[in-house]
Amino acid sequence: MQTFQQDCVALARELHARGRISRRGLMQALAALGALGGAEALAQAERQLVMVNWGGLANDGFGRFYGAPFAAETPGWRVVQDSTGPSTGRIRSMVESGRVTWDLCDSSASGANLLGKLGLATRIDYSIVNRENVIGPGFALDYGAAPYSFSSVLVYDSSKFPAPPRSWADFWDTRRFPGTRLLRRDATCVLEAALMSMGKAPGALYPIDMRAGIRRVTELRRNLVFWTNGSESEQLMRTGEAVMGQIWHTRASVLEKETNGRLKFIWDQAILQPGIFVIPKGNPGGEMAQRLLASMLTKPEPQVGLLGLLGNGPTNPKAAAMVPAELKRFNPTDPENEKLQVVIDGAWWGENYQTVNQEYLDAVTG
């Protein structure tokens, strides 16, 4: 199953193919990728930190906006980007083998909770990392903290509906809003939307009533298609195979811009998710990884730069005021957008994902 981070890589390549990202920008990312073959060897060198992401423009973005500023103010240290993909399984293998070469990894709230529970991640030292530098408690966890954010939003074809949908209840109302729906082939965020469509208050979604949520999804069976990666979600909406869907805000933003507003999305009842970074247990850089993470959270300007490059939302409370007017509409953590959303409970998903997702897949594919 594709992660949001992997989709950012694919999206960057697609935007370049469509002429939305310059060749120079793409070549910067490719150059970074080409320089990473020896990342594991570099990790053994003194006074450097290895930050692991999912590739593509993330190399340029995280290197430029997070690694470079930290190195500039920390003499004798540099930050190396590794794009090989910090999956939970790879982190586990490194820690259990005693051969940890990574210092800071782009993960998720559920991944951080799982790794912490298994003793595979380092607890965040909040005497170094300042909790006040993030917008809420869901962005500063015991075993990870979030320097960026993203959302799962409701996107729709405005040419099909004189009155636009405003909630997940409208999404499930195929009489007032006829047409095929689009959902992810993954339970995360889908079940939250299903429960809200039934009138469940956003503040009372957790613990998720799995049975009720899955039953609600199956009600759409005759009007439902599924996506497994971000490119597919975008294409199914662009071609009209679906008239309404739940997709990542980065993809919805591209659709809205490229169709001049025919395909729109709303922030109402979107599920806001933290882009969590974790520190593997036994990382070679030790405490300096905590200090790098603290730096990533402290400065709002680099987070705004990342929004412009990748579409990822900033998480520092001071960042919103610095976002250019033309980007506010597409910023998930803009105060006006944020207040309409629900923050995902990563702890609940960390405990329940495997069981719940299998039940969901069995129901929708059976």
**pLDDT score, position 46:** 44
Instruction: Please work out, in degrees rounded to the nearest 5, the angle formed at the alpha carbon of residue 54 by the alpha carbons of 50 and 56.
Output: 105
Do residue 224 and residue 125 come from a single domain? no
| Run means of pLDDT, 10 residues per run, the chain, 366 residues | 72 70 54 42 62 86 94 94 92 97 95 94 98 95 96 98 96 97 97 98 97 98 93 95 96 94 98 97 97 97 93 96 96 97 93 94 91
| CATH value at residue 45 | 3.40.190.10
CB neighbourhood size of 335 (10 A): 12
Do residue 138 and residue 34 come from a single domain? yes
Find out whether 141 and 276 touch, Cβ atoms under 8 Å.
yes
Q: How far apart are CA 313 and CA 27, in angstroms?
A: 24
Range of the domain at 221: 150-272+344-365
CA nearest to 198, candidates 213, 185, 180:
213
> What is the count of structural domains for the chain?
2
Exposure of 197 by Cβ count < 10 A (0-12 exposed, 13-18 middle, 19+ buried)?
buried
**pLDDT score, position 44:** 40
**pLDDT score, position 288:** 98
Do residue 140 and residue 231 come from a single domain? no
Do residue 23 and residue 102 come from a single domain? yes
Do residue 170 and residue 96 come from a single domain? no
**pLDDT score, position 189:** 97
Do residue 356 and residue 299 come from a single domain? no
Do residue 67 and residue 154 come from a single domain? no
Do residue 16 and residue 127 come from a single domain? yes
Do residue 114 and residue 221 come from a single domain? no
Do residue 300 and residue 266 come from a single domain? no
Model-level pTM?
0.83
Do residue 178 and residue 113 come from a single domain? no
What are the residues facing 79 on neighbouring strands?
Answer: 49
Enumerate long-range contacts of 73-76, CB under 8 Å, 24 or more apart: 73/295, 74/288, 74/291, 76/47
**pLDDT score, position 6:** 72
Distances (CA, A) of 117 to 92, 184, 255, 282: 12, 27, 39, 16
**pLDDT score, position 11:** 78
Do residue 252 and residue 155 come from a single domain? yes
